[in-house]
Copies of this chain bind each other. A is one copy, B any other.
Amino acid sequence: MTKHKDNQTEEQILEAAQQVFQAKGMDGARMQEIADKANINKAMLHYYYRSKQLLFEAVFKKAFALLAPQLNAILNDDSALEDKIRSFTHNYISFMMKHPYLPNFIIQELNRNPKFIESLKNNVAFPNISKFKTQVEEEVEKGTIVSVNAEQLFINILSLNVFPFVASPLIKAFTNVDDKAYKAMLEDRKTAVSDFIINAIKK
């Protein structure tokens, strides 16, 4: 119990900031609300993070660092394509059901400030398609899957997995489904999406 209270406060702030920023975005978030949620004085936010912008960036980078390994699972893992699709879909949906704010937060703030992505490319293990592209091209050549463009396939996989988390209010409304039933549908998607994708590319 020597001097870890500082670390603890810093963590409290980051935790509270994460909640507020992810729920309301950079522009909608209020420093006072973050301070209240962290049970500290507003000046502490500036003591530890200097400015709203820097606090936001800390939250954003932490969120992105959480997402990146998920994506690298499909882009850089060594297993066979079909296995990867199944495990990625299963794992990604499980993961996002625990962090439902994440994808929307990242997409929204990246749209607000596209330059922001440049700093991420340096700081975090940034997902890259090249290895996945080689693998897809090999499988096409071997004849195990139909001829597909690797980028398009990647976009399709990503779309089918991410979109239901980004657009949930809209989809719920169109399909006349409540929260509970929507969760059940997401649960089904852990296998339904991979079946769908594999069906689409299997010869």
A residues sitting closer than 8 Å to B (CB atoms) are: 24-28, 71, 75, 104, 106-108, 110-112, 114, 117, 120-121, 126-130, 146, 148-149, 151-152, 154-156, 158-160, 162-164, 166-171, 173-177, 185, 188-189, 192-193, 196-197, 199-201
Contacts and interface: CB of A to CB of B under 8 A. Distances in A.
Contact of A129 (B163, B167, B175, B200): B175
A117 to B, nearest CB: 5
A118 B16 CA distance: 30
Contacts of A177: 151
Contacts of A170: 106-107, 110, 117
A175 B157 CA distance: 13
A96 to B, nearest CB: 13
Please tell me how many copies of the chain the complex holds.
Answer: 2
A172 to B, nearest CB: 8
B28 A173 contact: no
Q: 6 tightest CB-CB pairs across the interface, nearest first? A: A159-B163, A200-B200, A27-B27, A27-B28, A163-B163, A199-B200
A111 B121 contact: no
A107 to B, nearest CB: 5
A70 to B, nearest CB: 12
Q: Tell which of A24, A106, A171 has the most Cβ of chain B within 10 Å.
A: A171
A24 B107 contact: no
Contact of A156 (B27, B151, B160): B160
Contact of A117 (B158, B169, B192): B169
30 contacts: A24-B112, A26-B28, A27-B27, A27-B28, A28-B112, A75-B174, A104-B107, A110-B169, A111-B166, A117-B169, A117-B170, A120-B173, A126-B173, A128-B174, A129-B174, A148-B196, A149-B188, A152-B185, A155-B175, A155-B189, A156-B160, A158-B171, A159-B160, A159-B163, A162-B163, A162-B167, A196-B201, A199-B199, A199-B201, A200-B200
